[in-house]
């Protein structure tokens, strides 16, 4: 075996050549001289694993001679393996095999890390290789690296993220155009901003994967996708948005991770934010993460959460960092999970809530609804029955009114029990929407 | 000399124990266990250099036994030197001596780096030590590190920064309260948000230091404070703000660095931004930097630009990174200035401008002003003479009107020549305000 010199290329093996993979290949090939200057050794795109090599013919910067269908071969014969195939089963196999072979790994796979992150981090640490995944949360936004490396002398107490561009686009369109959810979703699908099966986005599961990763890294504690409570945006109506606007608020789907006295929590839910909050200015498909830390106070990181070139920018940033470590014979900081904080019980989650019910407007209905709130000990901050129901409202029969109740802070379990009790009332119909109120 | 083990402390020498220094000391002492876990070796606050050791008695976490007036001794007998004394003369001497002694350096000193950065970076690289300075631009915001390390596979084309909290606070107060500059400045001084001598902030010099650092790092090209063109905010009036608000715009003092066809530029000027721009939502004393990169597209980094604890968070993040490098026997990426791009000439700076003149409202004045614009070839996009002058306007004599002209894009030299010509007209009085228009 030849000795390693400053001329010896660091060999990058790419698993997957889709939207992000092809752009990652382009940056590595086109920025070749730049990368070599920054790393101190050449960084070479040595192999591209792709189930259908014909797919790569569209990309003139990918040399057909390095394309193969043998993913395992690439995973186990590279200095750096870039995993961009997605999913959790095959990806896990290839990533673990890569680490076992002594390769460092760069991945954008949020589902993989939300499910198997701690196992993968531990394997990388045991083997003395790097695992970097900037693109897994917030796409192009350099956010996880600062969290891992810049805030290490500080203590992060909470993070609020707009980490799903599809839902942010939908809520933004509902806000600016006054349209209902279903209309905007159809339009977003037509324009390619939402997938044919949008469930993973609109039900919050994509954001939940990111919440698990954010909590794990922010609190040095393993938090899995199974620990994340999730609510999506499908019950939000144009009337909810109009009510928010009237109160100078906006509705955003947030991934919220907190480190409180009762332990750590990771949740995804739609929330009402004041329109002066920095996250309120995050429009369209942009992402942003708002961080609170003890010493640094408020921070926010903003940028494109998806897209081939933006995500590839983050991937290649990781590749350069890992390549520098390889050239120097070292690794970056491991993902330290030494704190092992407890998970907070659901009853520890306190907030003010805005609940919108659909009611048949007959005598006594307000007394009955308010009675359920009183019986559960939930204090009402504001009530508004003036909103006109939109005719597209599911269950609308021409007599239905909306009743919107904003509570004082209460715990989530009690709030849900109260809402269930109200739904059991004769005069109440349809699905209520529940929004958390964030100050 | 004893062998270095995992128990051997990495010795931090702190130069300066003021607002940031005292908080840096607190984090290093209070987070001792955390830092040791992250670094793999203890990180010890070994010495604090302070001209008046009595000053440190207020800080119970600083052991009086490690406080000394001998700054040079601390600078040359530490593993990591944290320079927080400010200024460019003594600080340069101590930083260069520290590097020469083999210490790595962490500093928050923007003036030092804007003046002597390339010399210091080269000395650190030659000696094989680290120089980190996250806190020098944007205080607590982890922004320079991502620029240095996460965006290395990308190409930054421009950055717009709100990097001076005092001026952002003043402009914000003028906007929300409708007050004139002088009134808000006095109030800000009374509240401690502006210094007794606010010149460095309000004339843009503080922001100019940061612009020089941003351009140097972003474009891999030495840009010094002497290369930065600077305009402050002292000529902006409540009427300018009112005109901006009426157009759904905000006025912000920006540090703008660009890498264009004519070369790189670094400027500080007040500008009109659409109120939907992410930077428009940066209020009070917060800072933010908006980055455009070829692959990543738009990014923004937001947080506290000053203050003891926030700035110390960034300093300690750097200390941990440098300590990890020392423990691993390596260094971080050097500050690469290999591109040496040319500086763009002033004539290459094209923008639309909003100029507000004070005029004696008599027949023919508009024709005369418009004539000067025509003579210089500057095309007028909009003109507005309806604004009422405020009675506090300097030079107000009861007959003066404001005339506000928004141009189509033109180069700055021509615009300034036009404005000078207009000021030479009999009917024109007082100081015009000049704002760039950013889309």
Yes or no, beta carbons of B27 and A140 under 8 Å apart: no
pLDDT at A392 over 70: no
Nearest-neighbour CA in chain B from A218: distance (Å) = 14
Whether A10-140+307-328 and A346-437 share one fold: the answer is no
| Residue A87 zone, left/alpha/beta (φ > 0; ψ -120 to 50; rest) | left
Its ipTM equals 0.91
Yes or no, beta carbons of B300 and A301 under 8 Å apart: yes
Question: Would you state the pLDDT for residue B372?
Answer: 96
B38 vs A: CB within 8 A: yes
The span from the CA of B378 to the CA of B68, in Å, is: 61
The span from the CA of A223 to the CA of B315, in Å, is: 29
CATH of the domain spanning B148-304: 3.30.360.10
The span from the CA of A403 to the CA of A221, in Å, is: 41
Instruction: Tell me which residue of B418, B338, B340, B420 sits closest to B373, measured CA to CA.
Output: B418
pLDDT in tens, B54-76: 999 999 999 999 999 999 999 99
Yes or no, beta carbons of B134 and A140 under 8 Å apart: no
Query: Which residues of A are known binding-site members for L-homoserine?
Result: 195
Beta-carbon contacts of B426 under 8 Å, excluding residues fewer than 6 positions away, are B360
Instruction: Tell me which residue of B436, B168, B146, B81 sits closest to B291, measured CA to CA.
Output: B146
CB contact residues (below 8 A), chain B span 103-142, against chain A = 134, 140-142
pLDDT confidence of A348, banded at 50, 70, 90? confident
pLDDT at A395 over 80: no
pLDDT confidence of B185, banded at 50, 70, 90? very high
Beta-carbon contacts of A37 under 8 Å, excluding residues fewer than 6 positions away, are B336, B338
Q: Please count the residue pairs, one from chain A and one from chain B, whose beta carbons lie less than 8 angstroms apart.
A: 192
Q: Are A244 and A251 a contacting pair, CB within 8 Å? A: yes
Nearest-neighbour CA in chain A from B306: distance (Å) = 10
Q: How many CB atoms lie within 10 A of CB A1?
A: 3
How far CA B379 is from CA of A44, B364, B369, B375, in Å, comes to 51, 19, 12, 10
Give B-chain residues touching A38 at CB under 8 angstroms: 152, 333, 336
Beta-carbon contacts of A24 under 8 Å, excluding residues fewer than 6 positions away, are A14, A82, A84, A312, A315, A316, A319
B33 vs A: CB within 8 A: no
Residues of B marked active site are found at: 210
Residues of A marked active site are found at: 210
Residues linked to residue B45 through DSSP beta bridges, in sequence order: B12
Q: Render A321-353 in DSSP notation, one character per residue.
A: HHHHHHHHT--------TT-PPBPPGGG-EEEE
pLDDT at A59 over 70: yes
Place of tokens 């094989």: B128
Beta-carbon contacts of B57 under 8 Å, excluding residues fewer than 6 positions away, are B64
Nearest-neighbour CA in chain B from A302: distance (Å) = 5
Q: How many CB atoms lie within 10 A of CB B307?
A: 19
CB contact residues (below 8 A), chain A span 288-307, against chain B = 288, 293-304, 307
Minimum Cα–Cα distance from A317: chain B residue: B150
The span from the CA of A382 to the CA of B208, in Å, is: 49
Yes or no, beta carbons of A330 and B333 under 8 Å apart: no
CA angle A367, A231, A140 (to 5 degrees): 140
Yes or no, beta carbons of B328 and A333 under 8 Å apart: no
Q: Are B162 and B253 a contacting pair, CB within 8 Å? A: yes
- Report whether CATH 3.30.70.2860 matches the domain A10-140+307-328: no
Nearest-neighbour CA in chain B from A196: distance (Å) = 26
Pick the CATH number of A150-302 from 3.30.360.10, 3.40.50.1820, 2.30.180.10, 3.30.450.260: 3.30.360.10
Yes or no, beta carbons of B302 and A304 under 8 Å apart: no
Place of tokens 């306190």: A350
Give A-chain residues touching B327 at CB under 8 angstroms: none
| Residue B122 zone, left/alpha/beta (φ > 0; ψ -120 to 50; rest) | alpha
pLDDT at A146 over 70: yes
pLDDT in tens, B125-149: 999 999 999 999 999 999 999 998 8
pLDDT in tens, A12-43: 999 999 999 999 999 999 999 989 988 999 99
B16 is in an annotated binding site: yes
Q: Could you tell me whether strands A297-304 and A286-293 are parallel, antiparallel, or unpaired per DSSP bridges?
A: antiparallel
pLDDT in tens, B260-278: 999 999 999 999 999 999 9
Place of tokens 């000395």: B123
CB contact residues (below 8 A), chain A span 246-265, against chain B = none
Selecting from A142, A151, A338 the residue whose C-beta is nearest the C-beta of B37 gives: A338
For chain A, what are the domain ranges? 10-140+307-328, 150-302, 346-437
Beta-carbon contacts of B122 under 8 Å, excluding residues fewer than 6 positions away, are none
What are phi and psi for residue A356, nearest 5 degrees? -115, 115
What are phi and psi for residue B270, nearest 5 degrees? -80, 140
Instruction: Please tell me the least confidently modeled range out of A165-179, A395-409, B17-31.
Output: A395-409
Q: Are B273 and B289 a contacting pair, CB within 8 Å? A: no
Q: What would be the CATH architecture of the domain defined by B346-437?
A: 2-Layer Sandwich (3.30)
Yes or no, beta carbons of A301 and B298 under 8 Å apart: no
What is the separation, in whole angstroms, between the first and last Cα of chain B?
A: 62
Q: Render A83-111 in DSSP notation, one character per residue.
A: E-S-SSSHHHHHHHHHHHTT-EEEE--HH
Q: Would you mind telling me the total number of residues written for chain A in this entry?
A: 439
pLDDT at A370 over 80: yes
pLDDT confidence of A390, banded at 50, 70, 90? low
Instruction: Tell me which residue of B29, B157, B139, B6 sits closest to B84, measured CA to CA.
Output: B139
The span from the CA of B429 to the CA of B366, in Å, is: 14
pLDDT at B259 over 80: yes
The span from the CA of B358 to the CA of B387, in Å, is: 11
Tokens of A350: 């306190």
Yes or no, beta carbons of A283 and B299 under 8 Å apart: no
A369 vs B: CB within 8 A: no
Tokens of A7: 């001329």
Helices (H), B192-307: 199-202, 205-219, 238-246
């Amino acid at each position: 075996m030849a000795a390693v010199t400053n001329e010896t290329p660091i060999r990058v093996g790419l698993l997957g050549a889709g939207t992000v993979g092809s752009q990652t290949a382009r940056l590595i090939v086109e920025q070749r001289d730049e990368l070599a200057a920054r790393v101190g050794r050449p960084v070479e795109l040595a192999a591209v694993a792709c189930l259908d090599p014909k797919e790569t013919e569209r990309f003139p910067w990918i040399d057909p001679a390095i394309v193969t269908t043998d993913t395992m071969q690439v995973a186990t014969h590279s200095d750096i393996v870039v995993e961009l195939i997605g999913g959790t089963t095959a990806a896990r196999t290839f990533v673990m095999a890569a680490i076992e072979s002594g390769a460092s790994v760069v991945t954008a796979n949020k589902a993989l890390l939300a499910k198997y992150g701690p196992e993968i981090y531990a394997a990388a640490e045991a083997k003395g290789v790097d695992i970097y995944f900037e693109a897994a949360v917030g796409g192009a936004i350099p956010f996880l690296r600062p969290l891992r490396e810049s805030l290490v002398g500080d203590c992060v107490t909470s993070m609020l993220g707009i980490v799903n561009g599809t839902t942010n686009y939908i809520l933004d369109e509902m806000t600016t155009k006054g349209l209902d959810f279903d209309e905007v979703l159809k339009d977003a699908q037509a324009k390619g901003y939402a997938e044919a099966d949008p469930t993973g986005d609109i039900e919050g599961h994509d954001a939940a994967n990111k919440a698990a990763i954010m909590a794990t890294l922010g609190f040095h504690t393993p938090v899995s996708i199974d620990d994340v409570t999730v609510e999506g945006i499908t019950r939000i109506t144009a009337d909810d948005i109009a009510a928010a606007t009237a109160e100078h608020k906006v509705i955003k789907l947030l991934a919220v991770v907190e480190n409180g006295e009762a332990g750590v929590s990771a949740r995804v839910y739609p929330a009402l934010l004041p329109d002066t909050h920095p996250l309120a200015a995050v429009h369209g498909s942009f992402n942003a993460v708002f961080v609170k830390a003890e010493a640094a106070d408020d921070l926010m990181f903003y940028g494109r959460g998806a897209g081939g070139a933006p995500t590839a920018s983050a991937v290649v940033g990781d590749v350069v960092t890992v390549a520098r470590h390889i050239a120097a014979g070292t690794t970056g900081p491991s993902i330290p999970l030494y704190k092992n904080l407890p998970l907070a019980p659901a009853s520890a989650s306190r907030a003010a809530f805005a609940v919108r019910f659909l009611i048949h407007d007959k005598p006594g209905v307000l007394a009955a609804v308010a009675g359920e709130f009183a019986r559960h000990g939930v204090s009402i901050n504001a009530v508004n029955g003036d909103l006109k129901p939109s005719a597209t409202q599911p269950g609308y029969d021409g007599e239905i009114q909306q009743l919107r109740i904003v509570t004082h802070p209460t715990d989530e379990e009690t709030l849900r029990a109260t809402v269930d009790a109200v739904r059991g009332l004769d005069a109440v119909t349809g699905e209520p929407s529940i929004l958390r109120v964030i100050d």
